[in-house]
Structures are given as structure tokens and as C-alpha cells.
């Protein structure tokens, strides 16, 4: 999967700019605040429908503008695909080959992308939501229907939360809650099974990569915990009873306490929780292993590697990890877009672009 050209209009600090990429490594250099990360963010937004930096689209607008437009040409299995996203009047419109998409699931996964930045270390030290997000974004790219499934589940959770905040008669509220619980079980079971399947797949790939990064000295183990249990089948069997047991507590606290929206990944290094014991270097190796594992799984699923976006990652890695990553990219022929603050660490091959005050100029 390759991006050929990318157009930005009224996005972040860009008035109107276009950049043409090569199939190999593309390096964007420039001082901080010039717009390097904005290019990466724009590509990611176009492919996933979401920003990894903000939740509200209006924050992506160039100052004093009311709309932004992103579009570009891509290659997937020798076929050209044109994607565009237009935000105007608080509404987002997305098209694939000029055909409007009604739902997010209609275009997510059309072009696959893996994004990696130093902020991804929060996957290890952060809360469960960060690890769930990693799993869900990956599944959404290879299973388009997963987006609709997540949206349906989240809507049920919102409706149940709203009911829990009302002051209806308790017996009446209980009967209504049972109706929502039935949907939580139906939709939640599908989410749990897909997350567990993905976790097992990425465990196999990421563990081998991690062992290579640590010279076979440490073992990585990743497990999905559903409803607080490692055994997924036991968790699903107990799902209805757990919801019933928590009902009084949910009414008291006015929030849904049981379901895949509260699940987590357990990441162990040599049988110790990485969240508690991993050093900064181990965290970097761990996240790098997960990202490279994600690349491999998408290749296995789609038959080719996705686009790789690296935002100021190389400066955060030591020479061994940096060389391992670059060798992996070059040997696998993955189209990669990398941001750096200076040309001192620039790669010896590929295209080099200078980014300055919202303008992009190719240097090599």
C-alpha cells in the first residue's frame, strides 16, 4: 500500500499544500512547530476518520477558517484509489473514488496504516483504555464491520448509563436494565472474541520481535482479560451472572460496570507486569515490537504491508533499536513517512523534504 500524493487545505497551519511521496522512505525535516506532525496527522485522519491528537474536528481547522479538505491518491495491489475528507459546517464528508461514504466502516481499512510516536509508550504505563484503543484500531482496519459493532455497543452503554441516572421505580428500572443487558451480552461477546483472537495473533509475532530486540534475553507475553478473567470461555459463560450481580452497584453508582468497555490487556515481561516493572528501554522495545507485529499481521491479512507513519520516533530509540527498525522497513519495502527535527539523523536513502512554516519543499 502506497500513498502517491497528499493535498492539505486549511488543515492546521496549512493554507494549501501538496506533497508527492516515493514508494520507499520519505523523511520530513524541520524545526518544531513548522508542520511536520500536521502532515502525518492529516494522512492518519484521512485514512481512519480520526485524529490521534484531538477529539474535535474544529481543532484541526486553520485559524479563522471554517472548513478543511484532505485528499490523495493511493495504490493498493496495483489499483489506484482516491480518498478525500471534507469537514464543513460541523459535518464530515468522506468519499472513496468520488463515491460518498455514509458510515465510518465504509472507508476505514480501505488503506491500512500503522502510526508510531513516542506518545505510544503510554500503552505500557497508561490505563486500560490505551491498550483497548490499540486493539480496536487494529481490528477496525482488517475487519470493516468491527467499527459498526463498536458503535452499536457504545450506543447501548450510553443508553444504559442514561437509564441508570434516572429516578424510576427500582423494580421497573431492573426490568428495563435487563433489556439493555441482553444487548450488552450479544454485542459484547462478539467484541471480546475478536479482541481475544487479535491478541493471540499479535502475541506470536510481537514476542519473536521482542526476543530479537533483546538478544533472546527476555520473553514477552500478552493476554486479553475479558470481564476480569484470562479464560475467555469462562468469562463469557459468567457474563449474564456478572451483570446481574453488579446491577445494584450499577444503580448506586449510576454507571455500567461490566462489559468489554472496561477490559484490559495484560503485558508481561518475564512473567512480571510491564506496567509496573518495565524500564524506559524495555517500554520502547515493547511498543516497537507491538507496532512491527501490527505491520506483519496486516500484511498476512491483506497481502501487503500498510503505510507506516513515524512521528519523531528515531530520536527516541537507541542505535540498536533504530537500526533494527530501519533494516526492517528497508528489507520489507514498506513505504514510510518519518518526521525529524534536523537533517543530522537523516537516512541515507529515500526522499527528503524540508518543512517550514506550512510549506513543503523536496530537498532530495
> 126-170 pLDDT, tens per residue?
999 999 999 999 999 888 789 999 999 999 999 999 998 886 666
**Boundaries of domain holding 158:** 124-303
What's the confidence (pLDDT) of residue 216?
Answer: 76
Verify that 218 and 259 share a domain, yes or no: yes
For 208-267, write each residue's pLDDT tens digit. 999 988 877 888 999 999 999 999 999 999 999 999 999 989 988 989 999 999 999 999
Q: Is 127 annotated as a binding residue?
A: no
Confidence of residue 196 (pLDDT cuts 50, 70, 90): very high
312 and 278 in a single domain? The answer is no
Residues 278, 267 within the same domain: yes
Cβ-Cβ contacts under 8 Å for 79 (sequence gap 6 or more): none
Residue 37 counted as an annotated binding residue: yes
pLDDT confidence of residue 347 = 65
Pair 148, 194 in one domain:
yes
Do 81 and 180 have their domain in common? Answer: no
Whole-number pLDDT of residue 32: 87
Give CA–CA dist 226/223, Å, rounded: 10
259 annotated ligand-binding residue: no
| Cα dist from 278 to 211, 220, 282, 293, 321, whole Å | 15, 11, 6, 19, 16
Grid cell 522497513 — which residue? 329
pLDDT band at 206 (very low <50, low <70, confident <90, very high): very high
Assign residue 139 a region (left: φ > 0; alpha: ψ between -120 and 50; beta: otherwise): alpha
Q: Is 35 known to sit in a ligand binding site?
A: yes
Last residue in a domain, options 303, 319, 339: 303
Q: What is the mean pLDDT of residues 318-339?
A: 90
* pLDDT for residue 3 is more than 70: yes
For residue 119, being part of any structural domain is answered with no
Does residue 344 surpass a pLDDT of 80?
A: no
153 and 269 co-located in one domain: yes
Mean pLDDT of the chain: 91
| 30 marked among binding-site residues | yes
Residue 116, domain member (yes or no): no
Q: Does 10 reside within a domain?
A: yes
Comparison of pLDDT for 174 and 30, the residue scoring more: 30
Q: Total domain count for the chain?
A: 2
Cα dist from 303 to 73, 159, 296, 337, whole Å: 20, 40, 10, 21
- For the segment 333-346, the average pLDDT, to the nearest whole number, is 80
Of the residues 303, 325, 350, which one is the last residue of a structural domain? 303
State mean pLDDT over 97-106. Answer: 87
Residue 346 annotated as lining a ligand binding site: no
Q: Does the annotation place 89 within a ligand binding site?
A: no
3-class DSSP state of 217: coil
How is residue 258 annotated by DSSP? S
The response to whether 109 counts as a known ligand-binding position is: no
Residues 223 and 334 in one domain: no
pTM of the entire structure?
0.90
Q: Is 293 within the bounds of a domain? A: yes
Query: Which pLDDT band, with edges at 50, 70 and 90, does 14 fall under?
Result: very high
Strands annotated E in 151-226: 220-225
Instruction: Show which of 252, 271, 303 is a domain's final residue.
Output: 303
Q: Does position 286 have pLDDT exceeding 70, yes or no?
A: yes
Amino acid at each position: 500500500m502506497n500513498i502517491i500524493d497528499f493535498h492539505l487545505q486549511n488543515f492546521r497551519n496549512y493554507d494549501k499544500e501538496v506533497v508527492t511521496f516515493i514508494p520507499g522512505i520519505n523523511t520530513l525535516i524541520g524545526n518544531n512547530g513548522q508542520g511536520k506532525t500536521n502532515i502525518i496527522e492529516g494522512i492518519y485522519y484521512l485514512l481512519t476518520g480520526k485524529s490521534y491528537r484531538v477529539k474535535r474536528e474544529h481543532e484541526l481547522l486553520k485559524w479563522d477558517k471554517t472548513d478543511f479538505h484532505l485528499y490523495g491518491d493511493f495504490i493498493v495491489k496495483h489499483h489506484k484509489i482516491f480518498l478525500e475528507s471534507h469537514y464543513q459546517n460541523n459535518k464530515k464528508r468522506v468519499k472513496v473514488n468520488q463515491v460518498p461514504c455514509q458510515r465510518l466502516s465504509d472507508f476505514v481499512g480501505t488503506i491500512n496504516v500503522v502510526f508510531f510516536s513516542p506518545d505510544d509508550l503510554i500503552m505500557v504505563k497508561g490505563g486500560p483504555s490505551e491498550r483497548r484503543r490499540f486493539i480496536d484500531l487494529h481490528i477496525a482496519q482488517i475487519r470493516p464491520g468491527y467499527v459498526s459493532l463498536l458503535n452499536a455497543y457504545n450506543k447501548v452503554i450510553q443508553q444504559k448509563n442514561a437509564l441508570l441516572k434516572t429516578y424510576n421505580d427500582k423494580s421497573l428500572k431492573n426490568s428495563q436494565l435487563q433489556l439493555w443487558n441482553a444487548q450488552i451480552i450479544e454485542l459484547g461477546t462478539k467484541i471480546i472474541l475478536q479482541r481475544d483472537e487479535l491478541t493471540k495473533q499479535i502475541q506470536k509475532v510481537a514476542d519473536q520481535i521482542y526476543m530479537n530486540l533483546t538478544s533472546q534475553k527476555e520473553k514477552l507475553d500478552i493476554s486479553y482479560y475479558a470481564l476480569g478473567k484470562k479464560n475467555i470461555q469462562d468469562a463469557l459463560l459468567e457474563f449474564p451472572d456478572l451483570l446481574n450481580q453488579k446491577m445494584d452497584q450499577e444503580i448506586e453508582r449510576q454507571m455500567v460496570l461490566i462489559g468489554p468497555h472496561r477490559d484490559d490487556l495484560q503485558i508481561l515481561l518475564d512473567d512480571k507486569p510491564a506496567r509496573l516493572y518495565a524500564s524506559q528501554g524495555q517500554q520502547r522495545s515493547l511498543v516497537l515490537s507491538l507496532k512491527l507485529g501490527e505491520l506483519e499481521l496486516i500484511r498476512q491479512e491483506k497481502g501487503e504491508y500498510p503505510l507506516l507513519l513515524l512521528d519523531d520516533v528515531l530520536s527516541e530509540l537507541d542505535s540498536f533499536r533504530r537500526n533494527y527498525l530501519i533494516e526492517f522497513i528497508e528489507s520489507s519495502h514498506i513505504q514510510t513517512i518519518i518526521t525529524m527535527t534536523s537533517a543530522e539523523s537523516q537516512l541515507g536513502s529515500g526522499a527528503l523534504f524540508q518543512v517550514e512554516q506550512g510549506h513543503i519543499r523536496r530537498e532530495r
